[in-house]
Amino acid sequence: MSKKLEGQVAVVTGASKGIGATVAEHLAAAGAAVVVNYASSKTGAEAVVNRIRQAGGKAVAVQADVSKPEEVRRLFAEMKKAFGKLDILVNNAGVYEFAPLEAIGVEHFHKHFDLNVLGLLLATQEAVKQFGPAGGSIVNISSVAAALTPPNTSVYSGTKAAVNAITRSH
């Protein structure tokens, strides 16, 4: 049986759990070799890699905080070392902590915007450098909170609105 993504390579940021883990596993099931990125959950990332490998797929786990330019460069260097090329980037890494307006401080703001927005931009910039002549695909994970703005989500919702704007502008 032919697999739609056979021979392609994907990087999924924030793939040690939740949506990212599921996306990584689905890409691998479709034939892609997958880089499972994680910031702190090595155990979670290794579990995702093991599930992919047990199902006959190819995957490696790479630790990198995508809000830091030097770590993003290392993430893509490790991808190149493991698989030689890049075809797909899924920008999934993100943080969400809800707080009422009066409790939002500089640290809360930067934690969200540095990862959810800057991390997406840095990973995208590096991915574009890695794509071959045929180009590649970038998938940005947003949230309904960008438009619905539940209570106490002003910063998180703002980051996801920024993700939507970045996605539409390119």
| Blockwise average pLDDT, block size 10, the chain, 170 residues | 88 97 98 98 98 98 98 98 98 94 96 98 98 95 87 94 92
The answer as to whether 69 is a domain residue is: yes
Tell how far CA 34 is from the center of its chain: 12
Q: According to the model, what pLDDT value does residue 147 have?
A: 85
Closest CA to 59 of 48, 68, 67, 70: 48
Q: According to the model, what pLDDT value does residue 146 have?
A: 83
Q: Tell me how far apart the alpha carbons of residues 68 and 31 are, in angstroms, rounded to a whole number.
A: 30
28, 156, 157, 162: which one is catalytic?
A: 156
The answer as to whether 3 is a domain residue is: no
* 115 Cβ contact list (under 8 Å, min separation 6): 65, 66, 67, 93, 94, 95
* 148 Cβ contact list (under 8 Å, min separation 6): 157
Closest CA to 15 of 24, 7, 6: 24
The answer as to whether 91 is a domain residue is: yes
Q: According to the model, what pLDDT value does residue 4 have?
A: 96
Q: Which helix or strand (DSSP H or E) is residue 90 part of?
A: strand 88-91
Q: According to the model, what pLDDT value does residue 2 have?
A: 63
Domain of residue 47 covers 9-169
The answer to whether 158 touches 110, Cβ cutoff 8 Å, is: no
CATH number at residue 127: 3.40.50.720
The answer as to whether 111 is a domain residue is: yes
The answer as to whether 139 is a domain residue is: yes
**pTM of the entire predicted model:** 0.95
β-strands 33-38, 59-63: how paired?
A: parallel
The answer as to whether 2 is a domain residue is: no
The answer as to whether 134 is a domain residue is: yes
Counted domains in the chain: 1
Catalytic residue flag (residue 156)? yes
